[in-house]
Amino acid sequence: MNCESAITFEVILKYQVKDKFFHLFQFLKFNYMKLIEATEKDISLIQNLARRSWESAYSGIISAEQINYMLGKMYSEEEISTHLKNPDYHYFLIFDENSNSFEGFMGYENGYEEQTTKLHRIYLVPESKGKGFGKEALNFLKQKISESNDKRIILNVNKENNAKKFYESQGFKVYDEVVLNIGDGFVMDDFLMEFVF
């Protein structure tokens, strides 16, 4: 079976009755997702996806002023360009082949600490939540890291962000917490999480 196979509504219902709907649905969804390595020509796209996802993910957690400040600081053209020129830093765009649209992105850095990759950023636009793209992106990352010299993936997650539960469901565990002063009177109040191979 592939993306071009004709699957009728009746067939899906049949699978649902047999308690196999979830597995079929997962297969269909993930067949439509593609991860595309980003280049400098994609900087404006990354910036757009970041703003759309941040305004959804962090509304009610941090102020609009802090969202704008952090987006301006962390997602400036200069900052992203510097990342893309670093051979250890990788950006991948999350593309939905079904809707022919970019749904998010992921940025990670190999060798951030000894035998450790840092997942700096993984964001999806609100319309793509629930499609399984986040899980598949993490599985892709785990596969990439398993083929490298690194033995651990780390990330920061805001203490009020529900994404913590998602990371825990994917095998990440909290190992510490931190409050970082990021300037202009703003702080990042985060859990530090890790996945160990």
Cβ neighbour number for residue 47 with a 10 Å cutoff: 16
pTM for this structure?
0.84
* Tens of pLDDT, residues 27-65: 444 458 999 999 999 999 999 999 999 999 999 999 999
Q: Report the share of the chain in percent with pLDDT over 70.
A: 84
Q: Give, in words, the CATH class of 32-196.
A: alpha beta
Where in the chain are all domains bearing CATH 3.40.630.30?
32-196
Pairwise CA distance, residues 107 & 109, whole Å: 7
Edge-to-edge strands of the sheet including 101-113?
33-37, 89-96, 101-113, 116-124, 152-158, 186-196, 173-183
* Tens of pLDDT, residues 6-31: 332 333 333 344 444 444 444 444 45
Confidence class of residue 136 from pLDDT cuts 50, 70 and 90? very high
Cβ neighbour number for residue 95 with a 10 Å cutoff: 19
Q: What is the pLDDT of residue 129?
A: 85
* Average of per-residue pLDDT values in the chain: 88
Pairwise CA distance, residues 142 & 38, whole Å: 19
The H or E element spanning position 94 is strand 89-96
Average pLDDT over residues 132-136: 96
Pairwise CA distance, residues 92 & 90, whole Å: 7
